[in-house]
A and B are shown apart, each in its own frame.
Chain A
Amino acid sequence: MAGGNEVNLNECKRIVPLNTWVLISNFKLAYTLLRRPDGSFNRDLAEFLDRKVPANSFPVDGVFSFDHVHTSTNLLTRIYLPAPLDPSRHGAVDLTEPLSTTDVVPVLVFFHGGSFTHSSANSAIYDTFCRRLVSICGVVVVSVDYRRSPEHRYPCAYDDGWNALKWVKSRIWLQSGKHSQVYVYLAGDSSGGNIAHNVAVRAASEGVKVLGNILLHPMFGGLERTQSEKRLDGKYFVTVQDRDWYWRAYLPEGEDRDHPACNPFGPRGQSLEGVNFPKSLVVVAGLDLVQDWQLAYVDGLKKSGHHVNLLYLKQATIGFYFLPNNDHFHCLMDELTKFVHSIDEDSQTKSSPILLTPLQHDEV
């Protein structure tokens, strides 16, 4: 055992910067402590260990934030906006005016990851990421909390996501453009990506307009063990065993991984053909063992006739976007920026599906 693991750990440490490795290994260790073999979860310790940060209505590096709590659910939503140009308005929050009456300002409804179980909108890793999205990609971000497993299983997270979308759509202060609309993109990493997909399906069926989906190594799976799962098991922070645990915690008791929530284009999945589904940007980390499922998802979307951009980051591990100290981070931000700003309000042009890979820097 020791020999094999040592090789794996060293390989992993070579691929990512040291501080990234420390960060993600810390999570891996902490999460292992929290998951119990019987399927229960040490929620108290999880909340104790989670590093949280408050919102700040004073701008920091050009971005300010404030919280909204839905009193019926006690679920947090944190809103991130670019700082007002007028310094005298710093520290205050105006909920009476739209974002703009001339320009279109994309609003990203962001569902944080954590395999349906971990983290919150006010977790430091997600707060920091959302701030960077605002300052780098020129968007407004609405980061949404959802009820987590194992305490709350499917379909709670999707219901909460759907309610959040409706709430966002109805805020005057998130409207922009000449037609006073809220221009929404759904986004999420890991389980958040899965939620974004499912909320988009619901939105399509209920006639709520979503301009695009951004899925950052989304969490999908299936009964079958794919090549990438076998090849990468335990090698880059993630194990098949922990993926299984999280699916058991999220899916209804007694269900297996071919449940459509886990495997949307699998044997029990519903077809999206003819559905008014938004265009998608799917980001896959080349060292993520879930990638075969993510690529199958991309495939499934294409076969249903939907536009999808795949950003395949060959040497990226999960969580590469938590620290801006690598090329993948910048590549992601570039693609994301292009994706949300490629729509013109009047001409409604869409981007065509292309496979994007960054320059293979490590092969130079």
Chain B
Amino acid sequence: MKREHSHRETSSVKVDSSSMTANKEEAGGFDELLVVLGYKVRSSDMADVAHKLEQLEMVLDDGISHLSDDTVHYNPSDLSGWVDSLLFDLNPTCDQVKPDQDSEYELSAIPGSAAYPPGKRTRTGSDSPTTTTTTRSMVVLDSQETGVRLVHALLACAEAVQQNNLKLADVLVKHVGLLASSQAGAMRKVATYFAEGLARRIYRIYPHDDVGLSSFSDTLQIHFYESCPYLKFAHFTANQAILESFATAEKVHVIDLGLNQGLQWPALIQALALRPGGPPDFRLTGIGSSLTGQSIQEVGWKLGQLANAVGVNFEFKSIVLNSLSDLKPEMLEIRTGSESIAVNSVFELHRLLAHPGSIDNILFTIKSIKPDIITVVEQEADHNGSVFLDRFTESLHYYSSLFDSLEGPPSQDRVMSELYLGRQILNLVACEGEDRVERHETLVQWRNRFSMGGFKPVNIGSYAYKQASMLLALYAGADGYKVEEHEGCLLLGWQTRPLIATSAWRLNRVG
């Protein structure tokens, strides 16, 4: 029997009867065996990619290790794109890269990184919507092995609630309370919140609508910002993408879909101030909800003070809305043609999933103002499924990881952070319909939504990755935080569990 030869385009001749995946091509034409290994290569491109790898090997002897320190890499899963960009970096005069609509879009360096060629950061190759199996990533920590009984009790109670067996649920929730009290640390706190959520659901004592306590939740968010790196990571990675997008633009406009205390913007203002060639005129539009109208102005004013101090021309506008869905393009007063626009959303979009049509409204509004970049940070979790028990189980594992990452010496920041997260848990577990706003979805789900909505990914690369890792080392202390790259997006997780994801988008101008 002859073994398969290299010139075949398909992945294999022999069908492996005992393997888990048949050697058929996927709908998108990607080699299925490589897909499970993390690489998306179309079978029809395989020979071409091989040829380019050979070309790169020829150059290997010339000592290309300098490449790793200067070059910024993007989306390693797109092997074809990665290899193309390496070839381009080695031979910039060669017309390697296919020009696309980004060719007028010369991105210049942010401090420290090399200039990169047009078309490198956006790939239309792997935009097809991905379907994935349901993933539940469980991390068991040493301390948690004894908490297994507690987890089982919680799940049993949630199941009883799901089956509307409220008598049983009542008994079980009390049992959970007992078990929880004998636990320590993160497990106890998480269990207590989830038990409270279940109890509220059983007795129909729903948590108050969040709007009335906006200023309190702002305060909580500040403590959350201080006590752990999640928000810092979110702001940092989004800012990196925004900076790269703004490049050398003279006038820039950032639209923050949830200004809160404006914690993200001092760093961006300072980075703009330090930009080679001088800062642009910086305009910030901050959006907030009705009851924080007063404090949005204050936030804007403070940021203005900072901007003045570092020599950046600053303009601020606030928009107060009941819901982001009410945002209309004309409210933003876009100065078409003269400003580079970034739309930024940190943990805001998932709330819109509680109201049918809302997410479509905001995406439509965003599209109509033609931003240069949209940065999105969301919780990396599937907390919006239709089955209560599934949502409960997923979120139990999610918040267990999150709370575990907060463990350490007691502090006010930490206590307030736990309360901040606890309110999310209560909303997730006890509320339904339009009140349930903590409708987290995964990066894969958001990617699908954006792709369908007419956007295409802007890859976040190795420079931002490295900076984020360094930031974590500085602020986080604990070794458990991990940054991962996933097809152009960055995720921050605790141990092996990704918890938040940053992605960036722009309009798909084709068609």
Asked if A48 meets B14 with Cβ closer than 8 Å, knowing A22-B41, A325-B23, the reply is no
B140 within 8 A of A: yes
Residues of A contacting B53 with CB < 8 Å?
22, 25-26, 29
Q: Is the Cβ of A330 less than 8 Å from the Cβ of B16?
A: yes
Interface assignment of B485: CB less than 8 Å from any CB of chain A: yes
Name the B residues within 8 Å of A135 (CB-CB).
20
Interface size class of B (residues with CB under 8 A): 35 or more
A217 CB within 8 Å of chain B: no
- How far does the Cβ of A296 sit from chain B's closest Cβ, in whole Å? 29
Contacts of B136 in A (CB 8 A): 56-58, 91
Min CB distance, B211 to chain A, in Å?
A: 35
- Produce 1/0 per residue, B1-39, CB < 8 A to A: 111111111011010101111010000000101101111
Residue in chain A with minimal CB distance to B407: A71
| A77 to B150 alpha-carbon distance, docked (Å) | 23
B182 at the interface (CB under 8 A from A): no
The answer for the CA separation of A96 and B41 in the assembled complex, in Å, is 43
Question: Which chain A positions have C-beta within 8 A of B497?
Answer: 54, 67
Which of the residues B33, B67, B143, B480 comes within 8 Å of A33, measured between beta carbons? Answer: B67
Q: Is the CB of B1 within 8 A of A364?
A: yes
- Specify which of A37, A54, A95 is in contact with B65 (CB 8 Å cutoff): A37
- 12 extra interchain contacts, Cβ-Cβ under 8 A, other than A29-B53, A44-B466, A67-B139? A9-B57, A22-B79, A23-B34, A45-B462, A48-B485, A57-B138, A62-B20, A68-B139, A94-B148, A96-B149, A128-B37, A132-B19
B465 on the A face (CB < 8 A): yes
How far is B13's CA from A16's CA once the two chains are assembled, in angstroms? 12
A residues bordering B, Cβ < 8 Å? 1-2, 5, 9, 13-14, 16-19, 21-23, 25-26, 28-30, 32-37, 42, 44-45, 47-49, 51-58, 60-63, 66-72, 74, 76, 78, 91-96, 122, 124-125, 128, 131-132, 135-136, 315, 322-327, 329-330, 333, 361-362, 364
User: Could you say which residues of chain B place their CB within 8 Å of the CB of A68?
Assistant: 139-142
Chain B min CB distance to A234 (Å): 10
* Complex CA–CA separation, A325 to B13 (angstroms): 8
Contact yes or no, B47 A18, CB < 8 A? yes
Whether a CB of chain A sits under 8 angstroms from the CB of B348 is: no
- Taking a contact as CB atoms under 8 Å apart, the answer to whether A55 and B50 are in contact is no
B139 touches A19 (CB 8 A): no
For window 418-469 of chain B, which residues contact chain A by CB distance below 8 Å? Answer: 462, 465-466, 469
In the complex, what distance in Å separates the CA atom of A190 from the CA atom of B67? Answer: 27
Inter-chain contact B54/A9, CB cutoff 8 Å: yes
Chain A positions within 8 Å of B68 at CB level: 33-34, 36, 42, 45
Bound Cα distance A324, B484 (Å): 27
B76 touches A1 (CB 8 A): no
For the complex, what is the distance from the CA of A76 to the CA of B139, rounded to whole Å?
9
In the complex, chain B residues whose CB is within 8 Å of the CB of A47:
465, 469, 483-484
CA distance A322 to B39 in the complex (A): 13
Complex contact B41–A19 (CB within 8 A): yes
**Contact between B495 and A74, CB atoms less than 8 A apart:** yes
Given contacts A19-B33, A330-B18, contact A67 B61 (CB under 8 A): no
| B residues less than 8 Å from A93 (CB atoms) | 138, 140, 148
Distance between Cα atoms of A14 and B7 in the complex (Å)? 8
B393 at the interface (CB under 8 A from A): yes
| CB contact between B34 and one of A2, A9, A19, A315 (< 8 Å): that residue | A19
Are the CB atoms of A69 and B139 closer together than 8 Å? yes
